[in-house]
Amino acid sequence: MTDNDTPLINELENGPWPSYIKEIKRMAKRKPAAKDLLGVQELSFKDKITHWKHGGIVGVTGYGSGVIGRYTDVPEKFPAVEMFHTMRINQPAGWFYTTDSLRKLCDIWEKHGSGLTNFHGSTGDVILLGTNTESLQPCFNELTEAGFDLGGSGSALRTTSCCVGPARCEFSNIDTLDICRDFTQEFQDEMHRPRWPYKFKIKISGCPNDGVAAIARADFTIIGTWHDTLRIDRAEVCKYVQNGFDIKGLVIDKCPTKALTWNEKESELVIRPDDCVRCMHCINKMPKALRPGVDKGATILIGGKAPIVKGAYLSWVLVPFMKMEPPYTEAKELLHKIWEWWDENGRTRERVAELIERMGLKTFLRAVDLKPNPQMVFRPRSNPYVFFD
């Protein structure tokens, strides 16, 4: 196969955004699988349809997840991608790397796979894209020697991920990286041996800006927050205003609960702490002058997911405030209660939010020993159909 055989995908080598086709072509010079992947991609562009089949069950010894089996439906044309399995490699928390560790990963994938990768997959793993069944175990063995392990797939705990957190962000109210590392180490079995009704995701964001979209996609959502009052550096506020910053228009008027006022005469920003809902807007706008409070912890929410099957859900508030200090016993005990109830009652491919909707939040709260509180709802019910049992 030459460039002449792939006119459609060649077009995507043009334009200012970096080209993945160029990347595949780079590997195609020395990897037959990358070369045949170009062929499959060209064929899909021509046919407007995928040329990959359902994965078979492939994996490494002792694991039920971490490898996605993949086969093309045109193996006679493109034999080098007859098998093109994916390995999900659990990333270090916060996606920090040394170049040494990355070079080791590259060398292992040079030896055992297509040389193509995703940095990273949506869930957070490094995706090693494309190898055959025989290479899986030797590749895995070398990966673990180099200090890497597989991530989650199937009906298991999926790879946990977190925002950059205290490593490089002043907004973070919890140690997102340590929680991610600690939970990942504690729940290796839940991640590597699928045994639940369906997938379960944990994501950790350090503040309500929610940098890893935890509220939209994590069954167990941890978002850093604070219980006291945000901190105001009066001198720095004045500097913003003196430099022409429109504090009235860009901060005061945008506060969702009208908790802030600007005293022009005294040059003072005043907050009514009870009205602040910790939305982060004012802090985002004036990071030099405003900071989260000092009584830090997390809001725990439950049930975020994409549409399959019963529709998408944003996570619901479960524990309004939880202190997050190692070894994170309270959060872990709650997780075990949730898993036990879901495992007991969930149907095949039923995420925990769908089960809560089917059984009722009341039933769920009783099962996990939590008392109802008004932070859990936007508003109470309007109908009269109450079960007094």
Interface residues for other proteins in 271-310 (CB under 8 A)? 278-281, 284-285, 287-288, 291, 306-310
Q: Does 380 bind other proteins (CB under 8 A)?
A: no
Q: How many residues are given for the chain?
A: 389
Q: What CA–CA distance (Å, rounded) separates 364 from 342? A: 9
Listed as own residue / partner, the contacts of 104-109 with beta carbons closer than 8 Å and 24 or more positions apart are 104/146, 105/143, 105/146, 105/148, 108/139, 108/142, 108/143, 108/146, 109/139
Report the residue number, 21 or 319, with the smaller CB distance to other proteins.
21
- Residues in CB range of 47: below 8 A, 6 or more apart: none
Q: Does 270 bind other proteins (CB under 8 A)?
A: no
Report the residue number, 90 or 368, with the smaller CB distance to other proteins.
90
First-residue to last-residue Cα distance in the chain: 72
Cα 160 versus chain centre, distance: 7
Question: Is omega for the bond preceding 120 within 30 degrees of 0, making it cis?
Answer: yes
Report the residue number, 217 or 368, with the smaller CB distance to other proteins.
217
Q: Is the dihedral of CA 121, 126, 132, 133 positive or negative?
A: negative
Q: Nearest approach, Cβ of 340 to other proteins (angstroms)?
A: 21
Q: Nearest approach, Cβ of 334 to other proteins (angstroms)?
A: 22
Q: Which stretch binds other proteins (CB under 8 A): 163-171, 259-267, 330-338, 365-373?
A: 163-171
Report the residue number, 43 or 368, with the smaller CB distance to other proteins.
43
Phi then psi for residue 379, to 5 deg, are -160, 150
CB count, 10 Å around CB of 336? 12
Residues 40-79 that bind other proteins (CB under 8 A): 40-41, 44-45, 47-55, 60-63, 70
Phi then psi for residue 211, to 5 deg, are -60, -20
Tokens standing for 176?
A: 């997102």
Q: Does 353 bind other proteins (CB under 8 A)?
A: no
Q: Nearest approach, Cβ of 76 to other proteins (angstroms)?
A: 18
Q: Note whether 141 and 135 are within 8 A (CB).
A: no
- Which one among 197, 211, 297, 346 touches other proteins, defined by CB under 8 A? 211
Q: Nearest approach, Cβ of 197 to other proteins (angstroms)?
A: 12
Q: Does 112 bind other proteins (CB under 8 A)?
A: no
Q: Which stretch binds other proteins (CB under 8 A): 122-130, 322-330, 358-366, 381-389?
A: 122-130
Report the residue number, 270 or 312, with the smaller CB distance to other proteins.
312
Report the residue number, 11 or 228, with the smaller CB distance to other proteins.
11
Q: Does 170 bind other proteins (CB under 8 A)?
A: yes
Pick from 350, 355, 335, 367: nearest CA to 190:
335
Report the residue number, 240 or 341, with the smaller CB distance to other proteins.
240
- Residues in CB range of 106: below 8 A, 6 or more apart: none
Report the residue number, 143 or 318, with the smaller CB distance to other proteins.
143
Q: Does 238 bind other proteins (CB under 8 A)?
A: no
Residues 317-346 that bind other proteins (CB under 8 A): none
- Which one among 67, 87, 157, 164 touches other proteins, defined by CB under 8 A? 164
Q: Nearest approach, Cβ of 118 to other proteins (angstroms)?
A: 5
Q: Does 166 bind other proteins (CB under 8 A)?
A: yes
**Kind and range of the H or E run holding 320:** strand 316-322
Report the residue number, 203 or 368, with the smaller CB distance to other proteins.
203
Report the residue number, 166 or 368, with the smaller CB distance to other proteins.
166
Q: What CA–CA distance (Å, rounded) separates 85 from 135? A: 10
Q: Does 102 bind other proteins (CB under 8 A)?
A: yes
Residues 177-206 that bind other proteins (CB under 8 A): 177, 180-181, 184-185, 188-189, 192
Greatest Cα pair distance in the chain? 80
- Which one among 3, 5, 11, 333 touches other proteins, defined by CB under 8 A? 11
Q: Which stretch binds other proteins (CB under 8 A): 12-20, 237-245, 329-337, 380-388?
A: 12-20
Could you give the C-alpha distances from 170 to 137, 173, 269, 289, 290, in angstroms and in order?
42, 8, 21, 12, 10
Tokens standing for 385?
A: 């159909």
